[in-house]
Amino acid sequence: MNIRLLAIFSTLLLSGCGSINHKQPIQEQPYDQATSARIRLFGNNGLPAAINPGQDCASSKEPIYAYGDTLADKFNSTLGKHTIRSIGMPASWRSDHLSYGESYSEFVIPAGAPSVVVMKMVTDQFRCVPAPQVFTPEAGKDYEAYLYRHDWRCGGVIRLLSGLETPGPVAEVPSTSCAKQ
C-alpha cells in the first residue's frame, strides 16, 4: 500500500513540473529587429530539440535545449500536456495545432551568424536522427524548426514564418547538414 501511495504521489509531483497549455516566458536576450531573429523549436516525447545560436557545425559548445531533454518534459508529453515557452512570436498554423504532447520553445538568436538546430526522434517503433542543420537567420525574421515525418521518412525542417502557414508542403529555409563528408 505504501509503495502504491508513493507511486501516485511521485506521478502527481512530476506532472506538476510542466505546464498544461500555458505559456511560460523565457528570459532571453532582448529582441532587436536590426540585429537578431527569433526561432520556435518544436519537441515531443522522445524528440528533443536544441539550438546552438551563433555557432557553426564545428562548435563544441553545448546547445540550448528547447524541449525533451528532461524527465519532466518526457513525462508531461506522455500525458499529452503542452509546454509552451514563448517570447511573443506570432502564432502559426503549427503552433496553433499542436499534436498530442507536442511542445515548443522560442528563442532570440543573432542574425547574420550561423545557428545549428538539432532534432531527433527515437521510439520503440521509429528512429529519426537527421544530421544537425546549420542556417543563417536574417535580421527581423521569425523561423520554425521541427521534424517532418511522412511514409517512414523524416528530416529536419527549418522554415521562415510568413503568416501563410498551412499543414501542407513547406518552403524550407536554405540550410546545410552538419554531417561529416
Give residue-wise pLDDT tens across range 13-25.
Answer: 444 443 333 344 4
Provide the pairing of β-strand 64-67 with 49-52.
antiparallel
DSSP string, the chain: -HHHHHHHHHHHHHHTTS-SSEEEE---PPP-TTTEEEEEEEEBTTB-EEEETT--TT--SPPEEEESSSHHHHHHHHTT--EEEES-PPP-HHHHS--TT-EEEEEEEETTS-EEEEE-EE-SS-EE-PPPEEE-PPTT-EEEEEEEEETTEEEEEEEE--S---SS---PPP-EE----
Give the tens place of pLDDT for each residue, 75-86.
766 676 777 888
pLDDT at residue 53, rounded to an integer: 92
Domain total of the chain: 1
Q: What is the pTM assigned to this prediction? A: 0.74
**Do 100 and 80 touch, CB atoms closer than 8 A?**
yes
pLDDT tens digits in sequence order for the chain, 181 residues long: 555 444 444 443 444 443 333 344 444 578 999 999 999 998 876 677 889 898 888 887 888 876 666 666 667 666 767 778 889 999 998 899 887 778 888 999 999 999 999 888 776 777 788 889 999 999 999 999 988 877 777 888 899 987 655 555 455 677 777 876 4
Range of the domain at 138: 2-177
